Every structure is written in structure tokens, then in C-alpha cells.
Amino acid sequence: MPFPLHRPRRLRANESLRTLVRETLLAPSDFVLPLFACEGEGIRKEISSMNGHAQLSVDKIVDECREAASLGIGGVLMFGIPAHKDENASGAYDDAGIVQRAIRAIKQETPNLLVISDVCNCEYTSHGHCGLVVNNDVDNDPTLEWLARTAVSHARAGADIVAPSDMMDGRVGRIRSALDESGFSGTPILSYAVKYASGFYGPFREAAESTPQFGDRRSYQMDPANAREAMREIELDLAEGADMLIVKPALAYLDILSMARQRFDVPMAAYQVSGEFSMIMAAAANGWIDKDRIMMETLTSIRRAGADFILTYFAKDAARLL
Ligand code: PBG
């Protein structure tokens, strides 16, 4: 008879006891802040669906990074919005491109702040797809060349970690050999190994101006219904040389995160994406939920499910609360 011998409430009686037995802890260094670099100077172009987030010119990005560094957050994740987009995503692998200039400036001003660069083409193509479009679909193999050039260009600019998010087959291996051949054998690859074709990316596409002009991303991003396939994606990326993994989005995919945590012994991240952020902010703005509480609860659940660190638009807010 467990009761009355056992009373789990004994260990919940006060905050000191609860703190003593708490299983999952958060620290500012668990959070990575996504940032959007745009052309110009002194520019802060608010993203209407993502309260508190904006496209920032390089000078403003540097200010933001100083603040991020002083809060002790784990790093920043860099996206770029180029002035011109074309069919070949040429802005993505241009050494003088927007992200490359932002990375150089950040590494100069806040050298100890970890800079992760998102390696993808969708912000740079006129059609908004993540690679070379042939017959209304993204052609996998030629796209690998762009990705490899982009990753090397980011590393040359000073990126500490490159994070391919395009979901092309074979890109991790291709990026690994391109980095190695260019003298960047020490640059880790954080692979978005498991990225679902998700409606939760809606606000990001406004932020990054990367909505596909036709069709959708379902021929390269994963079907939300599939879990076993996620494990296979991870196995392949690790075989190709990925150092760390991302599961994305986070909250609707905690089962995937937990399954991956049990199977693979590499550092794992989860991306609490734009839609997850915006839903919480919108409900809080209506007074329906307590923003800080839900923010910490979701971040804790993502850590508990197995993420070592979290890419999140709450990075600064959460770090301030801790
Ligand atoms: C692709 C990319 C996307 C996100 C990060 N990298 C968008 C997409 O696949 O359409 C979404 C992130 C978010 O929603 O916060 N470069």
C-alpha cells in the first residue's frame, strides 16, 4: 500500500525543497538568439508578427550582440536579408554579402560571443525556395554547391559554427569536405537534421522575406507525421560528419527530441520557431496567459525533452529572468 507511507507532496511543500529536487534547470547559456541582418545604417525595421524583433543593420546588430553577450546567452544565430535576390541565391555565398559583413563586425566587437550562421538559400532566391529550381522543384545536387560555398564564406567571415537548414540530401557531407579543403576543419556543423514542413514558420517568412513564391517546401522538409524518418535523417547526417543536431520546430515535436536524445549521444538543440514565439506573445497581449510563465515553462519542457540548448526568440527575456 503506497499511501499513506508515500506522499509525493512532501517534497513540494516549499520553494527550498522544490529547488533541491528540481530535475531540469535553465541557464542563459542554454539560449541562442536568432538575428536578422539587413542593409543600411541605423536601421531597425520591426517585424510586426514578432514583437520585439526586427531586421537590423550591421551597426544595430553589433549593439544587440553586446547586450546578448552581457546577458551571458549562449550565442546568436545569423540570418541575412539581402537587398537583391536572384535565381541563383548569389547573395548567400558572396564574401561581401550581408551576413558575412554582419559576422565580421560581431566577431570584431564581441569576439567571445558564439556566432552560428544559418546556411540556406531561401532568403537569397527571387522565388523563395531553398535551392536551384528546375521544373518547379528544388534540384538537390546543384544546390549542394551553393550551400558548400555559403558555409565556407561564413567560416571565412568568422562564423564559429555553420548550421545548414535547407534539408537537401547530402549537404552535411558536402559542406564538411568544402570546409576541410578550405582550411576550416575546426569549424563544427550544427545540422538542422530534423526540420519539418511546418506552419509554425509563418512569422519568420515575414521577417526574412523568404515566403516561396509558388508551391511549398514539402518536397524537401519533412512530413510532420513522421518520427522514424527523423531518426534516419539524424543517422545520415551524423554519418556525413554533423557535430550537433537541431530538431525544429520544438514544442509540437518534443517526442522526436526525446526519441533522438535516447538514441544519439551528440549535443542536440531544438528551435523554438517564430510561430511558437508569436502565439505566446499574442495570447499574452490579450491577457489570456502569463508570458513569462509560459516562456519559462515551454523552455523548460524543451530542455526536459532532451535539448542541450535552445534557439529561441525569448533568449534575452529568459536570460533576464534567470
Ligand atoms: C530556412 C529557415 C526557416 C527558418 C529557419 N531557417 C524557414 C523556412 O524553412 O521556411 C524558420 C525559423 C522560424 O520560424 O523561426 N532558412
| Domain harbouring 131, CATH code | 3.20.20.70
Residue 296 has pLDDT above 80, yes or no: yes
Q: How many CB atoms lie within 10 A of CB 257?
A: 27
Burial class (CB in 10 A: 0-12, 13-18, 19+), 225: exposed
The pLDDT value recorded for residue 81 is 96
- Tell me which of 60, 85, 195, 316 is the catalytic residue: 195
Q: What span, in angstroms and rounded, lies between the C-alpha atoms of 125 and 4? A: 65
Cell, residue 111? 569576439
Residue 32 has pLDDT above 90, yes or no: yes
Residue with C-alpha cell 555553420?
162
Give the range among 73-77, 185-189, 210-214, 255-259 with minimum mean pLDDT. Answer: 210-214
**Residue 279 confidence class, pLDDT cut points 50, 70, 90:** very high
Residue whose Cα lies nearest atom 14 of ligand 1: it is 201
Average pLDDT over the chain, rounded to whole? Answer: 97
- Tell me which of 45, 85, 107, 248 is the catalytic residue: 248
Ligand 1 pocket test, pick from 81, 123, 201, 311 with the greatest ligand atom count within 8 Å of Cβ, gives 201
- Give me ligand 1 centre to Cα 201, in Å: 6
- Give me ligand 1 centre to Cα 275, in Å: 10
pLDDT tens digits, one per residue of 109-131: 999 999 999 999 999 999 999 99
Segment 46-72 mean pLDDT = 97
45 belongs to the catalytic site: no
| 124 located within any domain | yes
Ligand 1 pocket test, pick from 47, 162, 204 with the greatest ligand atom count within 8 Å of Cβ, gives 204
| 76 located within any domain | yes
The pLDDT value recorded for residue 193 is 96
Residue 277 has pLDDT above 90, yes or no: yes
| H helices, E strands: number in the chain | 11, 12
Residue 53 has pLDDT above 90, yes or no: yes
pLDDT tens digits, one per residue of 166-183: 999 999 999 999 999 999
DSSP states of 81-115: E-S--BTT-TTTT-TTSHHHHHHHHHHHH-TTS-E
- Give me ligand 1 centre to Cα 68, in Å: 21
pLDDT tens digits, one per residue of 215-245: 999 999 999 999 999 999 999 999 999 999 9
Segment 197-209 mean pLDDT = 93
| H/E segment holding residue 194 | strand 190-195
Segment 24-45 mean pLDDT = 98
| 282 located within any domain | yes
| 11 located within any domain | no
Could you give the percent of the chain with pLDDT greater than 70? 100
| 21 located within any domain | no
| 1 located within any domain | no
Residues 126, 137 contacting (CB under 8 angstroms): no
Strand partners, 115: 76
Domain ranges, residue 124: 26-321
The total of structural domains in the chain comes to: 1
**Residue 33 confidence class, pLDDT cut points 50, 70, 90:** very high
The pLDDT value recorded for residue 1 is 76
The pLDDT value recorded for residue 306 is 98
The pLDDT value recorded for residue 206 is 87
| 123 CA closest ligand 1 atom index | 16
The pLDDT value recorded for residue 27 is 98
| 33 located within any domain | yes
Q: Is 204 in the pocket of ligand 1 (CB under 6 A)?
A: yes
Q: Is 201 in the pocket of ligand 1 (CB under 6 A)?
A: yes
Q: Is 122 in the pocket of ligand 1 (CB under 6 A)?
A: yes
| 18 located within any domain | no
E strands along 22-146, which residues?
A: 31-38, 44-46, 54-57, 75-81, 115-119, 133-134, 137-138
Segment 80-106 mean pLDDT = 96
Q: Is 120 in the pocket of ligand 1 (CB under 6 A)?
A: yes
85 belongs to the catalytic site: no
